[in-house]
Amino acid sequence: MPTLTQVIEIQQHGRVNLTGGPTKNFFNIYHYELAFGTVDTYTQLGQDFYAKVVQQLMPLLSSQYTLYELAIRMLDRATEQFTVVPMNFPGGATGDRVASITSVTLPFKCVDRGKSFRGSKHFGPISDADQTGDQITPAIVPTWNTFATTLGGIFASVNGQYRPVIVSRKLSQLKQDPTNVVGSRVSSVLVNLTLGTMRRRKERTVR
């Protein structure tokens, strides 16, 4: 089994204004392995991750979405707490949005085969103008492809460079030290033209 070391977990915490009034949390979780250099401070790492990766995503998300923080820790250390890096960035797609349950799905391909080395990211909500029937509009596809390429590549901070990986929660032992992080390096990220769903993001029934 491929064992990884110096694996950073970055959680992207956002919230969306729901039609019924309250807000809904939208979380995305990423894992990166230190590829070269040394691990940066988590504050620096969070700032660079936003500037070099997430910033490309923000224009694709509805203006009703707000990124309010990144939470970062190293999986190699079982008891390490998250370092929170505050953010305050709204999505850039104006106008009406699609339902909160609807998402754009980006599947990850890895260098190793098997069910334990599969993953994807679900992003939303998007503007209603970027949806045509059951798919994202052709005009916005190149922008999603550009973001997918960035998400699948190495990004650099000040002291280190980081490559994306898929971590197998099933095969890894992350509850106590010494940990054993099992996963696979990401070889590419794709974009599903067909829109997906994330049921946990659905607004509660309003009457």
Query: How many CA atoms are closer than 13 Å to the CA of 190, on its beta-carbon side?
Result: 10
Dihedral sign, CA of 181, 183, 186, 192? negative
- Domains of the chain, by residue range, sit at 3-94+109-117+141-188
Q: What is the pLDDT of residues 37-50, one digit of tens each?
A: 999 999 999 999 99
Six-digit token pair at 54?
């997430």
* Integer Rg of the chain from CA: 17
Question: Which pLDDT tens digit goes with each residue over 77-121?
Answer: 999 999 999 999 999 999 999 999 999 999 999 999 989 999 999
3-state secondary structure of 99: coil
Average pLDDT, the chain: 95
Under a CB-based contact definition with an 8 Å cutoff, are residues 91 and 130 in contact?
Answer: no
Q: What is the pLDDT of residue 1?
A: 66
**Strands 160-167, 23-37: parallel, antiparallel or unpaired by DSSP?**
antiparallel
pLDDT at 147: 98
**Structure tokens of 133?**
């029937």
Model confidence over 4-51: pLDDT tens digits? 999 999 999 999 988 877 889 999 999 999 999 999 999 999 999 999
Q: What is the mean pLDDT of residues 161-190?
A: 96
Q: Which of 159, 164, 148, 147 is nearest to 29 (CA)?
A: 164
